[in-house]
Amino acid sequence: MLLNPSFKPLKDETLGPKLGKICSDQAPERLRQAFAKGMAPGFTPEELLMGLYQLAVLYDELFDAVQKTIKNLPENVLSPLASRTDMPGPVLFLLSEMDLAETVIEAVISNKNTPNEAIAHLARRVKQRLAVFIADNQKRLLEYPVIIENLYLNKFTPMSVANRIIELAARHRLELGLDAYSEMLKALDMDPPQEEDPIDAELAAAELDQRFATIEVSALKFISHEDEDPEEIAKTETAEETHNRIILSQLPVSAKIRLAMLGNRFHRSQLIRDANKVVALAAIKSPSITETEIDEYSKNRQLSEDVIRYITRRKDWLKSYRIKLNLVNNPKTPITVALTLLNFLRKNDLASLARSRNVPQVIRMAANQRARQKT
């Protein structure tokens, strides 16, 4: 772990004179080293924690010792410290970035002094119970929407909770930085309406969470085959895997979109073929998608025009010669885009296009003309 560069030293009035002397560069080095190791007679646990933070911020060479000391503090000491309403926010932020007991992290989350940035950091990595705990604080989520983004991308956040926080963002017209956020908003009107009875709603949420978790677990088979063709993998799937594929197809739109964001190559290969273009677009917008996948998708004539059109708008993907060539050969590519891409093709590929019966005549004619110009 590296110290967050945004951490700033505490003010003198916050530290007090005793801690100020220990942390000063005028203090003997051995005294600072001893304090960093937890040898601080005469100081309260609160003073110890604030002093450790100050030393970590001011002296890079002491950070490892400070981190070890904090991690070795008993849970029944550190949790109450993290709960104190007078504990400075930066100190709580430091605790949020460390691998500490769940009760300590829960205390950090509960503390009103904890900066929103720290909560956002935790939202990306905590397990299910604390993810739900963070999601329940709507005030925090609305103040700092990055928390919503990180909760959504946390695989431990239940699907029903992910739906709830996206609905919250939509109600308050928040702009989120999530890939496929526009598709997530559209999905809100496509999924079945929520059960009115609280008990029925809770049961429906639990069922959705279970179905989504089942799909995630089923992905483990494919993780070791990321470089293989998903269609070839599918040929050898078991009855259980076929069942899981059916479950995937029956997921509500919102769950398919989230799976497109969090899933692996196999999931994306299934979802990009979904009949619902909102799901297909979410798959192509996945932050985990690779250029190898784009190479495959750009030549796939079975994909929707919306997906192909999205590929043509990504300048980073169009740096690849193979992708440009695939798009020109794909009849789903808009004619105007294909004609522009012809300018970047080699003579032999232009000649092949001029003879191809799988592309529109206007492309064949333009390819023939450009091939002659390169003679």
Q: How far apart are CA 256 and CA 242, in angstroms?
A: 17
pLDDT tens, position by position, 169-228:
999 999 999 999 999 999 998 876 666 667 777 887 787 888 888 776 555 454 444 555
pLDDT the model gives residue 241: 62
Which whole number is the average pLDDT over 251-274? 92
Tell me, yes or no, whether 370 lies in a domain: no
Which whole number is the average pLDDT over 137-143? 98
Q: How far apart are CA 196 and CA 205, in angstroms?
A: 12
The values of phi and psi at residue 90, to 5°, are -60, -35
Least confident of 97-101, 205-209, 269-273, 283-287: 205-209
Separation in Å, CA 196 to CA 169, 199, 201:
21, 9, 7
Instruction: Verify that 206 and 324 share a domain, yes or no.
Output: yes
Asked whether 359 and 332 are in contact (CB, 8 A), the reply is no
Instruction: Verify that 82 and 131 share a domain, yes or no.
Output: no
Check residues 251 and 82 and name the one with the higher pLDDT. Answer: 82
The residues, any chain, with a CB within 8 Å of residue 81's CB and separated by 6 or more, are 45, 46, 49, 87
pLDDT tens, position by position, 316-364:
999 999 999 999 999 999 999 999 999 999 999 999 999 999 999 999 9
Q: What is the domain extent for residue 138? A: 124-178
Tell me, yes or no, whether 360 lies in a domain: no
Instruction: Verify that 244 and 289 share a domain, yes or no.
Output: yes
Q: Is the pLDDT of residue 30 over 50?
A: yes
Q: Is the pLDDT of residue 51 over 90?
A: yes
pLDDT the model gives residue 232: 58
User: What pTM does this model have?
Assistant: 0.86
b (16+ CB within 10 A) / e for 53-75: bbbbbebeebbebbbebbeebee
Maximum separation of any 2 CA atoms in the chain, in Å: 88
pLDDT tens, position by position, 275-301:
999 999 999 999 999 999 999 999 999
Instruction: Verify that 248 and 299 share a domain, yes or no.
Output: yes
Say how many domains are in the chain.
Answer: 3
Tell me, yes or no, whether 96 lies in a domain: yes
In the chain, count H helices and then E strands: 27, 0
Instruction: Verify that 223 and 268 share a domain, yes or no.
Output: yes
Determine what percent of the chain is predicted with pLDDT higher than 90: 76
Instruction: Verify that 231 and 321 share a domain, yes or no.
Output: yes
pLDDT the model gives residue 224: 43
Paired tokens of 116: 């929103």
Q: 277-284 vs 305-312: helix axis angle to the nearest 10?
A: 30
pLDDT the model gives residue 201: 73
The residues, any chain, with a CB within 8 Å of residue 296's CB and separated by 6 or more, are none
* CA-based nearest residue to 86, from 60, 47, 41, 58: 47
pLDDT the model gives residue 222: 46
